[in-house]
Amino acid sequence: MKTKFLIANIFIVLVLLAVSCVEDEMYKGPANIEKVEFAPLEVTPADDVTITATITDLQGVTGAKIQYKVNGGSQSEVTMTKGNGDTYTGVIPKQADKAVVTFTVSADNKAGVSAVSNELTYTVGAPPIDYNNLVLNEIDGNSKAIELFNKGSVELSLTGVSLVKNNGSSAWWTGTAESGKIPAGGYVLIIQSNPDNPHLSGGSGISPKQNLKFELFGPDGASLGVFLRGDESNLGVGISDTAPNSYQRIPNGTGDWKLATPTNGAANPATGNDIPQS
């Protein structure tokens, strides 16, 4: 009887040892990587991108990192930092516009086993530019200059911006990359036959004594503002002389067209006079 009891105890011990060994083998598997996310979701060239992941392992995580490539180039690595609970974070530095970034999160545990997440991708895109903040702000027939004003908080490229005179079939002036940019709150002058800067040089015919129309267009072809003096059916025909005043939006950048002393390259005055239409 004692022999049977001893054999039974030995059998139980062997079973427990076997279960323990199986559990030990199970614990030697890779870490579990979940909830891999990046922010912001809409990435611009000004954004560093924060990667977060939830990483768990029964034996303990010894380290985690982000492995990423830009436009399919060589691989770079960023060490992740453990935060609250099982959350790890790391930052991919800002990249150029239109860059395609692919990345994975990898983790090692105390058993020396590595785990790698599925690959994720994001594309860097420049923020949309609101050209509605670009204003046709002053037309001066005395100095033969047209003033554009950027009333927004972001600088605006002049590339593709255009001015059309008297409903012409071609632009009086079209901006190029060499025309530069208007800083936020800044002004630029497009001068008739500009001898100093051909990239800010318009055509002819800015007159203070003609029926006159100018229209400003954004790079996408959308109209951004119109000036019209006189009868649109008689554009270019003589009319009363408004010199030495110029046509200005009053208040500056937002108001209706008025007559006032020229303020080329600076803010328009608070008040002005009505523009004669004949």
| Residues 208, 101 share a domain | no
Task: List the CATH number of the domain containing 57.
Answer: 2.60.40.10
Cα separation, 61 vs 214, in Å, equals 68
Q: Are residues 242 and 137 in the same domain?
A: yes
Phi, psi (5° rounding) for residue 52? -125, 150
Do 199 and 174 meet the contact criterion of CB atoms below 8 Å apart? no
103 & 169 share domain:
no
**In this structure, are 37 and 73 located in the same domain?**
yes
pLDDT at 27 (0 to 100): 52
Signed CA dihedral, 79, 83, 86, 90: sign only: negative
User: What CATH number has the domain bearing residue 201?
Assistant: 2.60.40.1260
Which tokens in the block code for residue 67? 């492995």
- Give the pLDDT confidence score for residue 127 in this predicted structure: 76
34 belongs to a structural domain: yes
147 and 221 in a common domain: yes
Number of domains in the chain: 2
- The residue with tokens 């046509």 is 247
Asked if residue 137 and residue 100 are part of one domain, the reply reads: no
pLDDT score of 161: 95
pLDDT tens digits for range 24-79: 454 578 999 999 999 999 899 989 999 999 999 998 999 999 999 999 999 999 99
Model pLDDT, residue 108:
96
Low-confidence ranges of the chain (pLDDT < 50): 5-6, 8, 13-24, 26
Decide which of 82, 98, 123 is a domain's last residue: 123
pTM score above 0.95: no
Identity of the amino acid at 30? P
Same-domain pairing of 242 and 148: yes
Longest dimension (CA), the chain: 130
Q: Does 254 lie in the same domain as 186?
A: yes
Q: Partners of 214 in the beta sheet?
A: 165, 227
Q: Are residues 151 and 207 in the same domain?
A: yes
Which domain, by its residues, includes 135? Answer: 131-260
137/249 same-domain check: yes
Q: Kindly state whether residue 273 falls inside one of the protein's structural domains.
A: no
